Amino acid sequence: MAKQMPKRSLEKVGLSVTGACVALVTLVVVALIVMVAQRGLSTFIKDGVDVLNFFTGTVWNLAVTDEATGLPFTGALPLIVTSFAVTIISTVIALPIAIGSAIYVVEIQPKFGQKYFQPLIELLVGIPSVVFGLIGFHVIVSAVRAIFNVEMGLGILPGSIVLALMILPTITTLSIDALRAVPDSYRQGSLALGYTRWQTIWHVVLKSATPSLMTAVILGMTRAFGETLAVRMVIGGVEAMPTSLIDSASTITTTLTTSMAVYATGSVQNDALWTLGLLLMGMSLFFILIIHLIGAKGAKSRG
């Protein structure tokens, strides 16, 4: 059919189809942002919930009404703190392992990395999150219970360990790509100046790959911040301010999944949950913005 159509008509068809695809994607993204923002802001505009109290309040209980305000308790600070805690701790756990693995398979044993290690990492990427949750519940939670001599073993620590396992393939794969992107001329020049291999790795390779490594870290944090199912299985689901890493807690995503189907659409409780969704989307957009800023800075430094 393409051979029978005139070239000018074929160009118009191609332009129309690709333009329609771009317009559709743009429309979907804008519609999602507008819908979530509209529903999320209803908590403050329509329902009269105090913005400061929402972000700084320490009591979240949508089933109980505050006698002073006549509104449910919507202090989201415990959920925000827990979400950032599991994200940061999981990144701290996964990052050294990921970068160490990347250095080994790129700088020490590249043949081993290409033939064996990367297929293994890709296998981890394909494992469903519920499997990580099951492993975390039966292995990590049991270990925490035995080590710390606690009754439940659920909390931020097991949630962070499970998340670290889940984001490890992402950070490792991107770190490998970042190190491989460093030109060999940098390594050769460093060795020619008398640096050892490890001095070259530390002072030249890692420094040159820093923007790309930072992107890997942010992408890993983005996935950790939005993960739900696996974390829900090991964190405990208690919507209260945690006082230690082995206290049962709840993240923004786990609260959304457990409560969204409970309350009627348009209610104060439902609007408050949409506000959590808006906060979650805002954090994801913030992480994406950081990635673009890091990429632009890295491109500028490379000239």
- The predicted-structure confidence for 213-259, as pLDDT tens digits, reads as follows 998 999 888 888 888 888 999 998 899 999 899 989 999 999 998 88
For the residues 37-61, what does the mean pLDDT come to? Answer: 92
Mean pLDDT, the chain, integer:
89
SS3 per-residue string spanning the chain:
CCCCCCHHHHHHHHHHHHHHHHHHHHHHHHHHHHHHHHHHHHHHHCCCCCHHHHHHCCCEEEEEECCCCCCEEECCHHHHHHHHHHHHHHHHHHHHHHHHHHHHHHHHCHHHHHHHHHHHHHHHHCCCHHHHHHHHHHHHHHHHHHHHCCCCCCCHHHHHHHHHHHHHHHHHHHHHHHHHCCCHHHHHHHHHCCCCHHHHHHHHHHHHCHHHHHHHHHHHHHHHHHCCHHHHHHHECCCCCCCCCCCCECCHHHHHHHHCCCCCCCCHHHHHHHHHHHHHHHHHHHHHHHHHHHHHHHHHHCC
- The predicted-structure confidence for 254-300, as pLDDT tens digits, reads as follows 999 888 888 888 899 999 999 999 999 998 888 888 888 877 776 66
Domains in the chain, CATH or no CATH each: 77-253 (1.10.3720.10)
Whole-prediction pTM value? 0.88
